[in-house]
Structures are given as C-alpha cells and as structure tokens.
C-alpha cells in the first residue's frame, strides 16, 4: 500500500508506473465550509416543524410503541 496526495502528480505517475492503482480517495473539509455550500441540505422529515410533521412523528412513535408491545409478548 502506498499513499500519494491527489495533487501530487509526479508521485501518482511514479506509483502508476510501478503498477499501483487508486483504491480510495479521502477528502476533508471543515463543517463550516460544507454548510456554506451552494446546495441546501434539508432536515429530515421528523425534524421539520409544522402540523404535518408533528402528526408524522406521532405516528412513528405510535408504531414503535406498538412493535415494542408485540415483541414483549
């Protein structure tokens, strides 16, 4: 196994000549940068506010309680 930076062209070419191939790419970025990106990330349905979402959360909780009762018997 060998490690070369994605932008290190010479190292990548050297390892390619030796027969190594890319297996994984690791990317890192601060959370603040990710949150500031142009594509908005919507919260999950259960985290949204409003009447509909509260009803949905209530039904999810009711289903969980029902399954716990059934599995306990």
Per-residue model confidence (pLDDT) at position 41: 67
Per-residue model confidence (pLDDT) at position 5: 78
The b/e string for 34-70 (b: 16+ C-beta within 10 A; e otherwise) is eeeeeeeeeeeeeeeeeeeeeeeeeeeeeeeeeeeee
Per-residue model confidence (pLDDT) at position 24: 80
Residues 19-49 have pLDDT tens digits of: 988 888 777 888 777 777 666 667 666 666 6
Residues 49-63 have pLDDT tens digits of: 666 666 777 888 888
3-state secondary structure of 71: helix
Please give the model's pTM, rounded to 2 decimal places.
Answer: 0.36
Residue identified by tokens 């490690």 is 3
């Amino acid at each position: 196994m060998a490690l070369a930076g994605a932008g290190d062209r010479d190292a990548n070419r050297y390892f390619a000549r030796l027969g190594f191939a890319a297996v994984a790419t690791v990317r890192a970025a601060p959370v603040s940068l990710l949150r500031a990106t142009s594509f908005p990330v919507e919260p999950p349905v259960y985290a949204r506010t409003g009447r509909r979402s509260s009803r949905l959360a209530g039904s999810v909780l009711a289903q969980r309680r029902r399954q716990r009762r059934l599995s306990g018997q």
